[in-house]
Chains A and B, each alone.
Chain A
């Protein structure tokens, strides 16, 4: 029997896991990724180990990425979007590839293009050595930089054309693993994310740690000493209509705080929260450690004002006094939540699968949350709702299992 073809939309941890599982089961996989890099949000996270592993799962994304790029049954389409998808005895798909991309066969990952064109974000750098190529052309910047792009690569690996190219595919089943969009912290204007350089998001913190090897303040590059984490920024917010917990931010903040504290025990870290969510099965013991190392304040700060030296004054409610007080911090980290992918409505219409009331893809069966109202289509990962890395992988495995069942692939 001819091996079946499956198309996976989205190359984050869920899409990669589904692709790998299906390839292991002998199917041919087309893995379509909109950006220039596989790995999605999950690959952007740094290791959170203290003297021991804290099970953040970031390294398992690294491993999965390596396995996916090394698997010849997985055909990866980077910088590519779905133009159209039609169901007829399987699926006919039209792909749209951006007008400029780096040819993986020719690219030697020398980094010359990045060094020359990183200033204006024309060339972007990947997050892992397993991002192949390690560099990508920023689709938004192609038009005004065509000439620079044409000549920058000594290997001639950058292909620039006038138009986006298209490609036709057929698939017997589809996995939707389009992930999430991080909450835009500017929507909570009281925290001044766009005004104060030392108010950063969790994703910013990851970028800073990766680039500097330590948590440097954006304003002056100095190591942060007194740090606040504000939880539930965008999640569990009735005013915004976001009636869900993002599930990853408490583990994120606690592990990050512990990891920072391990490197520098003098750091003063405060976590502002509503309710602390569990990190894993060792949570009770871990939470006790955290309570010893971190100050927990059960209140979400009201707002933030700048003071001297880039420091920030935070207005918070003092439980003992029953009044608002001001407390200075030199870095504030916003634990921004998991929002539905901003393109979900378009994708939903394209693929004819419904969204739920929050805007995530709706599962049609409560006991199998990868199922959709469209028979040969399955959801994987945060496209269905907030999940951590391990849960996204488990969900993607279940989606792969669903695909195999749908296509009648048994032992």
Chain B
């Protein structure tokens, strides 16, 4: 079927309300920035969080600005706030999401063009790792920050000429965000006359602006650091505290009796992320944060168009980096929603005669682009054109506009027909995001390539049908290469995995008809691997060439 005629440009009305989930400062900033760009905002804070400014690493001069931001959003008539709300259902496609929130015990339904997730991090005290019980002289970092924030308790520390021991980086790796808070507290302690600070630390995480300088300042002001590979032994008997360890520098066992022990905390992903990922059908990444670390996407984008993740929703981040996320998200929202109408050509079309709504496509689409009425429907806005659905559809009911099966069949026939004297014919199916680029680069840099090599561009390795592979061999190719992105580097998340499965299937089929396994090879590449590409194709040429001799 030639689907080119159906390739009409569709004009779509995009809802210009944007939903922001999470009401911390990053959520507020998102609401403010989106509204400033002319869109209405539905702000859905989880609950009223108790804000601790020192936890945000914000200089005191900035606190007033954050308070002003709260007021600005509260007063903004273009921002509708759904207090204490939880997202319970999300359907639809970018430009037209339907969201149901449970807000103050009632279900509220909202339309939104895009969704921004700005969940917070959770704070976990880690005293149990050190066998410590919280007490007046055994406090978490947050508690110390509170003590230092109040003039009264700060004075108590000072007049008591307290020795404060910090335990850092043994219970978990930590981050520059936490390290900045620790160093700020250390700095305050050593700034109090008569007080001293001992910091027991594993890796000092100084990979952010100003931290190395702050670390040095603390040292210059008398803070003492013991850099240890293993946590010191800590004893808490009534009010007496003992910290003992082996000092690797002077190579001696040392014992100290601090007045106060400050144990570390971890910042972990919001537990709500799990439900949000499921409801919004976006990927959960490492450590419970939203979004996989896929370098093919801009930092705030998720696997679904129109759903963005900012700030602590995607990683432990400082407030300034989270605000940078917000600005980047606004760029993406403007690019997607524009002024509310979008003209977009379809990338994939469903043959409604063939579709039996088995929903294989719905399940395999990594971008949540497929819905259905009496047949499957592919959203032009959400579709990224990878073609996984087209290859997985058992009825062959889906065609990619730029890579129809007919065109692919012609291309395979053409490629397998090209002959070069006395050299094997190799057909390489190349993902356009990686191997195809690498192949063109290998040519541009004049790498030695097999004379009988033909590249066939595919939108994603997930589009490579088992038929393509078998057809290429039937049409006369001596070898077939399937070249995909590295695991974790597929723009469509799972296209390379589908390709690998199909290759394994193809191996079984080839074995049945007695074709050698090494005529078919699967390999992964990145777009900048010109020499890697050359090596793979040359290796195959040598291997098959020897067979031919």
Contacts and interface: CB of A to CB of B under 8 A. Distances in A.
Q: How large is the interface on B (under 10, 10 to 19, 20 to 34, 35 or more residues)?
A: 35 or more
A278 B205 CA distance: 8
Interface stretch (A161-169, A176-184, A300-308, A398-406): A398-406
A25 B434 CA distance: 27
A110 B410 CA distance: 31
Contact of A287 (B65, B173, B298, B331): B173
A282 B293 contact: yes
A405 B323 CA distance: 15
B426 to A, nearest CB: 19
Nearest to B327: A401
A233 to B, nearest CB: 15
Interface stretch (A98-106, A190-198, A343-351, A389-397): A389-397
Contacts of A410: 36-38, 334
A328 B206 CA distance: 31
Contacts of A397: 298-299, 324, 327-328, 331
A392 B381 CA distance: 28
A47 B441 contact: no
A139 interface: no
Nearest to A250: B207
A47 B287 contact: no
Given A47-B528, A53-B295, A367 B211 contact: no
Contacts, number: 198
A247 B213 CA distance: 14
A285 B327 contact: no
Interface string A128-153: 11000010000000000000000000
B325 to A, nearest CB: 7
B526 A398 contact: no
A8 B327 CA distance: 19
B444 interface: yes
Contacts of A58: 526, 528
Given A47-B526, A129-B441, A275-B204, A243 B212 contact: yes
A3 interface: no
Interface string B286-316: 1101000101101110000000000000111
B527 A284 contact: no
B319 to A, nearest CB: 6
Contacts of B287: 281-282, 284
B295 A394 contact: no
B437 interface: yes
Interface string A204-221: 000000101100000000
B342 interface: no
B150 interface: no
Given A128-B441, A395-B324, A24 B207 contact: no
Interface in A48-69: 49, 51-53, 55-63, 66
Contacts of B209: 244, 369, 385
Nearest to A57: B295
A367 B65 contact: yes
Interface in A370-411: 370, 385-386, 390-391, 393-395, 397-398, 400-402, 404-405, 410-411
Contacts of B299: 390, 393-394, 397
B509 interface: no
Q: Helix, strand, loop or mixed for chain A's interface?
A: loop
Interface string B212-249: 11001000000000010100000000000000000010
A62 B298 contact: no
B320 A366 contact: yes
Interface string B176-218: 1000000000000000000000000001111111111100100
Contacts of B529: 46-47
A90 B213 CA distance: 37
Contacts of B532: 47, 213
Contacts of B528: 46-47, 58-59, 61-62, 128
A295 interface: no
Contact of B293 (A49, A66, A281, A385): A281
Contact of B487 (A51, A109, A393): A51
B207 A247 contact: yes
Contacts of A213: 531-532, 535
B258 interface: no
B524 to A, nearest CB: 7
A250 B251 CA distance: 27
B444 A134 contact: yes
B440 A129 contact: yes
A212 B530 CA distance: 11
Contacts of B488: 52-53, 55
Contacts of A260: none
A24 B441 contact: no
B330 interface: yes
Contacts of A400: 331
A58 B532 CA distance: 15
Contacts of B535: 213
Contacts of A282: 285-287, 293
Contacts of B319: 367
A124 B527 CA distance: 22
A244 B206 CA distance: 8
A58 B525 CA distance: 13
A367 B327 contact: no
B63 to A, nearest CB: 11
Given A53-B486, A53-B488, A128-B441, A236 B286 contact: no
Contacts of B210: 244
Contacts of A51: 486-487
A292 to B, nearest CB: 16
A36 B423 CA distance: 39
A367 B205 contact: no
A74 to B, nearest CB: 16
Contact of A275 (B203, B208, B285, B289): B203
Contacts of B39: 411
Given A111-B446, A129-B445, A247-B208, A394 B328 contact: yes
Given A62-B526, A411-B16, 17 more contacts: A21-B331, A47-B528, A52-B486, A53-B526, A55-B488, A60-B295, A62-B437, A63-B433, A66-B437, A134-B444, A244-B213, A247-B208, A278-B173, A281-B286, A366-B59, A398-B324, A405-B36
19 contacts: A25-B331, A47-B526, A49-B526, A55-B488, A243-B212, A245-B212, A275-B203, A278-B207, A280-B315, A281-B286, A369-B320, A394-B325, A397-B298, A398-B323, A401-B328, A401-B331, A405-B36, A410-B334, A411-B337
Interface of A: 21, 24-25, 46-47, 49, 51-53, 55-63, 66, 109, 111, 125, 128-129, 134, 210, 212-213, 235-236, 238, 243-245, 247, 250, 274-278, 280-285, 287, 298, 319, 322, 366-370, 385-386, 390-391, 393-395, 397-398, 400-402, 404-405, 410-411
Closest 9 CB pairs of A and B: A53-B489, A401-B327, A282-B286, A129-B444, A397-B328, A52-B487, A53-B488, A129-B441, A277-B207
Interface of B: 16, 36-39, 58-59, 62, 65, 172-173, 175-176, 203-213, 216, 227, 229, 248, 251, 285-287, 289, 293, 295-296, 298-300, 314-316, 319-321, 323-325, 327-328, 330-331, 334-335, 337-339, 433-434, 437, 440-441, 443-446, 485-489, 524, 526-532, 535
